[in-house]
């Protein structure tokens, strides 16, 4: 996604919630976060892929602007040495929305959407299902992009020895493969489910 298109998506999401986009300081801070040196997968590439996926699936969203802002914030805080990244990102999102004048209910829904990206369970609410499916759409990417994704994840966890990382990674991938279906949004499932299962099966055999 080109910077102009990314910025337009940012402004439009706030406008759709009935407020003016916050000053450039917030978006620049978010962009800087996604550009942190320790990131390899959770970068602007991932954010752009998510925003592009939302644009493709927008007609299936009940509140697309809330999903868009949840995507902007869902990996805003990313530290592989911590286990509360989603909670801290969700808190940041809720506060940013309230500071911009978004009503409390919408801000809380965005908070809940970000929290859904912990991927501890498949969500029940349709917009959360769509958000999670978008976040996991990388699993159904073409083989070359999926292989790049796997390399990027390993870079982010380079400090973890192989004998610890590899079985844990297989466990995580296996948990996604065990979901039936993996994708709860019908249009995403039709496009990506088969490829995701192939990708996951191959990755677990390595």
Exposed / middle / buried, residue 27 (Cβ in 10 Å: 0-12, 13-18, 19+): middle
Q: Which two tokens stand for residue 37?
A: 């040196």
In this prediction, residue 1 carries a pLDDT of: 85
What does the pLDDT look like over 75-106, one tens digit per residue?
999 999 999 999 999 999 999 999 999 999 99
Q: Lowest-pLDDT range, 112-116, 184-188, 202-206?
A: 202-206
- State the pLDDT at residue 60: 96
Burial degree of 96 (CB within 10 A; 0-12, 13-18, 19+): buried
Q: What is the pLDDT of residue 55?
A: 96
What is the per-residue burial (b if ≥16 Cβ within 10 Å, else e) of 61-89? Answer: bebbbbbbbbbbbbbbbbeeeeeebbebb
Cβ-based burial of 52 (10 A; exposed 0-12, middle 13-18, buried ≥19):
middle
Q: Note the pLDDT tens digit of each residue in 13-62.
A: 999 999 999 999 999 999 999 999 999 999 999 999 999 999 999 999 99
**What pLDDT shows up at residue 83?**
95
Among all chains, which residue has been given the structure tokens 């000053």?
23
Structure tokens at 13: 């999401």
Q: How far apart are CA 206 and CA 204, in angstroms?
A: 6
- Token code pair at residue 131: 């958000």
Average pLDDT of the residues in 161-178: 97
Rounded-to-integer distance, Cα 61 and Cα 64, Å: 5
Region 121-137: what's the mean pLDDT?
97
What does the pLDDT read at residue 53?
98
The structure's pTM equals 0.97
Confidence of residue 206 (pLDDT cuts 50, 70, 90): confident
CB 134 within 8 A of CB 51: no
Q: What percent of the chain has pLDDT over 90?
A: 99
Mean pLDDT of the chain: 97
């Amino acid at each position: 996604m080109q910077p102009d298109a990314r910025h337009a998506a940012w402004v439009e999401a706030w406008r759709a919630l009935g407020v003016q986009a916050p000053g450039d300081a917030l978006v620049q801070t978010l962009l800087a976060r996604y550009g942190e040196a320790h990131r390899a997968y959770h970068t602007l590439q991932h954010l752009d892929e998510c925003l592009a996926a939302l644009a493709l699936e927008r007609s299936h969203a009940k509140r697309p602007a809330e999903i868009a802002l949840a995507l902007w914030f869902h990996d805003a805080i990313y530290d592989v040495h911590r286990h509360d990244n989603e909670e801290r990102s969700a808190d940041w999102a809720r506060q940013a929305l309230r500071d911009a004048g978004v009503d409390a209910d919408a801000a809380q829904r965005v908070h809940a959407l970000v929290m859904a990206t912990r991927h501890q369970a498949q969500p029940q609410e349709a917009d959360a299902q769509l958000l999670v499916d978008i976040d996991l759409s990388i699993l159904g990417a073409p083989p070359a992009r999926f292989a790049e994704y796997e390399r990027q994840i390993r870079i982010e966890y380079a400090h973890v020895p192989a004998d610890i990382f590899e079985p844990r990674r297989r466990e995580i991938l296996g948990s996604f493969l065990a979901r039936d279906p993996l994708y709860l949004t019908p249009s995403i499932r039709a496009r990506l489910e088969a490829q995701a299962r192939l990708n996951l099966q191959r990755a677990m055999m390595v």
